[in-house]
Amino acid sequence: MPSATPAQQDAVRKDWDTYFMDIAYMVSTRSRCSRRHVGALLVQGKKLLGTAYNGAPMGVADCSEAGCMIVEEWEQRSGEAGPEMIKKQRCIRTIHAEQNLLLFTDRIDREGSTVYVTDQPCWTCANMLANSGISEIVFHRAYPKDADKVGRLMEQKGIVFRRLEEGYEPPPQAGLAVTD
Protein backbone atom coordinates (compact mmCIF):
# COMPACT_ATOMS: atom_id res chain seq x y z
CA MET A 1 0.00 0.00 0.00
CA PRO A 2 1.45 3.42 -0.90
CA SER A 3 2.12 5.58 2.11
CA ALA A 4 -0.06 8.68 2.65
CA THR A 5 1.23 12.00 1.34
CA PRO A 6 1.71 14.82 3.89
CA ALA A 7 -1.46 16.48 2.51
CA GLN A 8 -3.47 13.28 3.11
CA GLN A 9 -2.02 13.00 6.58
CA ASP A 10 -3.05 16.61 7.31
CA ALA A 11 -6.61 15.88 6.18
CA VAL A 12 -7.07 13.13 8.77
CA ARG A 13 -5.01 14.80 11.47
CA LYS A 14 -7.17 16.30 14.19
CA ASP A 15 -7.05 20.02 14.86
CA TRP A 16 -6.20 21.04 18.43
CA ASP A 17 -9.78 21.82 19.45
CA THR A 18 -10.95 18.40 18.30
CA TYR A 19 -7.93 16.73 19.87
CA PHE A 20 -8.50 18.27 23.30
CA MET A 21 -12.32 17.99 23.26
CA ASP A 22 -11.99 14.28 22.38
CA ILE A 23 -9.76 13.89 25.45
CA ALA A 24 -12.29 15.77 27.61
CA TYR A 25 -15.01 13.38 26.44
CA MET A 26 -12.84 10.35 27.23
CA VAL A 27 -12.15 11.79 30.70
CA SER A 28 -15.92 12.23 31.19
CA THR A 29 -16.38 8.46 30.90
CA ARG A 30 -14.80 8.16 34.38
CA SER A 31 -17.89 9.79 35.91
CA ARG A 32 -20.14 7.47 37.90
CA CYS A 33 -23.18 9.76 37.88
CA SER A 34 -25.75 8.20 35.56
CA ARG A 35 -27.41 11.56 34.89
CA ARG A 36 -24.48 13.51 33.52
CA HIS A 37 -20.91 12.76 32.44
CA VAL A 38 -18.75 15.87 32.26
CA GLY A 39 -15.01 16.07 31.55
CA ALA A 40 -12.74 19.10 31.83
CA LEU A 41 -9.09 19.78 30.94
CA LEU A 42 -6.55 22.47 31.71
CA VAL A 43 -4.39 23.26 28.68
CA GLN A 44 -1.53 25.75 28.53
CA GLY A 45 -0.24 26.37 25.04
CA LYS A 46 -0.63 22.84 23.69
CA LYS A 47 0.29 21.16 26.94
CA LEU A 48 -2.24 19.19 28.99
CA LEU A 49 -1.82 20.18 32.66
CA GLY A 50 -4.83 18.60 34.32
CA THR A 51 -7.97 16.52 33.83
CA ALA A 52 -11.14 16.21 35.92
CA TYR A 53 -14.67 14.82 35.79
CA ASN A 54 -17.77 15.20 37.93
CA GLY A 55 -17.87 12.92 40.94
CA ALA A 56 -18.39 12.55 44.68
CA PRO A 57 -15.44 13.44 46.94
CA MET A 58 -12.76 10.72 47.08
CA GLY A 59 -13.59 7.94 49.55
CA VAL A 60 -17.28 8.86 49.65
CA ALA A 61 -19.98 6.67 48.08
CA ASP A 62 -20.68 7.85 44.53
CA CYS A 63 -23.86 7.85 42.45
CA SER A 64 -23.31 4.27 41.22
CA GLU A 65 -23.10 3.04 44.83
CA ALA A 66 -25.49 5.33 46.70
CA GLY A 67 -27.71 6.53 43.87
CA CYS A 68 -27.97 10.07 42.65
CA MET A 69 -28.82 12.72 45.26
CA ILE A 70 -31.77 14.39 43.59
CA VAL A 71 -33.13 17.84 44.33
CA GLU A 72 -36.03 19.49 42.53
CA GLU A 73 -35.82 23.10 41.47
CA TRP A 74 -38.10 25.44 39.59
CA GLU A 75 -36.52 26.90 36.52
CA GLN A 76 -37.72 29.66 34.23
CA ARG A 77 -37.87 28.86 30.53
CA SER A 78 -39.11 31.00 27.67
CA GLY A 79 -42.22 29.29 26.29
CA GLU A 80 -44.49 30.23 23.38
CA ALA A 81 -46.71 32.38 25.60
CA GLY A 82 -43.86 34.04 27.50
CA PRO A 83 -41.78 32.81 30.43
CA GLU A 84 -42.96 29.62 32.12
CA MET A 85 -41.77 27.74 35.19
CA ILE A 86 -40.64 24.14 34.83
CA LYS A 87 -39.73 21.77 37.63
CA LYS A 88 -36.30 20.21 37.05
CA GLN A 89 -34.43 17.44 38.85
CA ARG A 90 -30.70 17.69 39.48
CA CYS A 91 -28.11 15.43 41.06
CA ILE A 92 -26.12 17.33 43.69
CA ARG A 93 -23.95 14.42 44.89
CA THR A 94 -21.07 15.28 42.59
CA ILE A 95 -18.47 18.00 42.58
CA HIS A 96 -18.66 19.46 39.09
CA ALA A 97 -15.80 18.67 36.70
CA GLU A 98 -14.71 22.31 36.48
CA GLN A 99 -14.55 22.59 40.29
CA ASN A 100 -12.54 19.37 40.57
CA LEU A 101 -10.20 20.76 37.91
CA LEU A 102 -9.61 23.83 40.10
CA LEU A 103 -9.09 21.66 43.18
CA PHE A 104 -6.43 19.58 41.44
CA THR A 105 -4.44 22.21 39.54
CA ASP A 106 -2.14 25.01 40.68
CA ARG A 107 -2.91 28.68 40.25
CA ILE A 108 0.40 29.26 38.48
CA ASP A 109 -0.49 26.65 35.85
CA ARG A 110 -3.90 28.21 35.33
CA GLU A 111 -2.73 31.75 34.57
CA GLY A 112 -3.46 32.39 30.89
CA SER A 113 -4.57 28.80 30.26
CA THR A 114 -7.52 27.31 28.40
CA VAL A 115 -10.19 25.06 29.93
CA TYR A 116 -11.79 22.50 27.61
CA VAL A 117 -15.04 21.20 29.03
CA THR A 118 -17.62 18.88 27.43
CA ASP A 119 -20.55 20.98 28.73
CA GLN A 120 -21.16 24.71 28.99
CA PRO A 121 -20.39 25.59 32.63
CA CYS A 122 -23.18 26.26 35.12
CA TRP A 123 -23.28 29.62 36.90
CA THR A 124 -21.32 28.48 39.99
CA CYS A 125 -18.56 26.85 37.95
CA ALA A 126 -18.38 29.83 35.61
CA ASN A 127 -18.07 32.20 38.57
CA MET A 128 -15.20 30.12 39.99
CA LEU A 129 -13.48 29.78 36.61
CA ALA A 130 -13.74 33.55 36.17
CA ASN A 131 -11.61 33.96 39.30
CA SER A 132 -9.19 31.12 38.58
CA GLY A 133 -6.67 32.82 36.29
CA ILE A 134 -7.70 31.10 33.07
CA SER A 135 -8.18 33.16 29.91
CA GLU A 136 -10.27 30.90 27.65
CA ILE A 137 -13.10 28.35 27.96
CA VAL A 138 -14.05 26.01 25.12
CA PHE A 139 -17.15 23.83 25.51
CA HIS A 140 -19.30 21.58 23.34
CA ARG A 141 -22.79 20.79 24.69
CA ALA A 142 -24.95 23.80 25.47
CA TYR A 143 -26.44 24.44 28.91
CA PRO A 144 -29.15 27.02 28.19
CA LYS A 145 -30.23 27.52 31.83
CA ASP A 146 -27.28 29.73 32.78
CA ALA A 147 -26.03 30.64 29.30
CA ASP A 148 -27.04 34.33 29.32
CA LYS A 149 -25.55 35.30 32.66
CA VAL A 150 -22.45 33.17 32.12
CA GLY A 151 -21.90 34.80 28.72
CA ARG A 152 -22.17 38.28 30.25
CA LEU A 153 -19.77 37.36 33.06
CA MET A 154 -17.14 36.09 30.61
CA GLU A 155 -17.49 39.23 28.53
CA GLN A 156 -16.96 41.40 31.61
CA LYS A 157 -13.92 39.37 32.62
CA GLY A 158 -12.50 39.33 29.09
CA ILE A 159 -12.36 35.53 29.06
CA VAL A 160 -12.70 34.02 25.60
CA PHE A 161 -15.81 31.85 25.78
CA ARG A 162 -16.59 29.75 22.74
CA ARG A 163 -18.53 26.71 21.69
CA LEU A 164 -16.96 24.17 19.34
CA GLU A 165 -18.43 24.75 15.93
CA GLU A 166 -21.18 22.62 14.42
CA GLY A 167 -19.85 19.43 12.99
CA TYR A 168 -17.79 18.34 15.99
CA GLU A 169 -18.64 14.75 16.89
CA PRO A 170 -17.57 13.37 20.29
CA PRO A 171 -15.69 10.06 20.14
CA PRO A 172 -18.26 7.22 20.00
CA GLN A 173 -16.69 5.52 23.04
CA ALA A 174 -17.74 8.51 25.18
CA GLY A 175 -21.44 7.64 24.88
CA LEU A 176 -24.07 10.25 25.53
CA ALA A 177 -25.18 9.89 29.14
CA VAL A 178 -26.93 13.19 29.71
CA THR A 179 -30.30 13.68 31.33
CA ASP A 180 -31.52 17.22 31.62
What amino acid positions are annotated as catalytic residues? 98
CB of 26 to Zn ion, least distance (A): 20
140 binds Zn ion (CB under 5 A): no
CA dihedral for 58, 63, 67, 69, sign (positive or negative): positive
Contact between 49 and Zn ion per CB under 5 A:
no
63 binds Zn ion (CB under 5 A): yes
The residues, ordered by sequence, that sit 6+ positions from 171 with a Cβ below 8 Å of its Cβ are 22, 25, 26
Q: 68 among the known binding-site residues?
A: no
Q: Is 96 assigned to a binding site?
A: yes
Q: Is 37 annotated as a binding residue?
A: no
Looking at the Cβ atoms of 54 and 114, the one nearer to Zn ion is 54
- Interactions with Zn ion, residue window 2-41 (CB under 5 A): 33
User: Taking the complex as a whole, how short is the minimal distance between the CB of residue 160 and Zn ion, in angstroms?
Assistant: 19
> Are the beta carbons of 128 and 103 closer than 8 angstroms?
no
Contact pick of 125, 134, 137, 138 for Zn ion (by CB under 5 A)? 125
91: β partners: 70
Rounded-to-integer distance, Cα 147 and Cα 173, Å: 28
Burial-class residue 128 by CB neighbours within 10 Å (0-12, 13-18, 19+).
Answer: middle
Member of 37, 96, 140, 145 binding Zn ion (CB under 5 A): 96
| CA dihedral for 103, 52, 163, 114, sign (positive or negative) | positive
Catalog residues that contact Zn ion under the rule CB under 5 A.
33, 63, 68, 91, 93, 96, 122, 125
What are the binding residues for Zn(2+)?
96, 122, 125
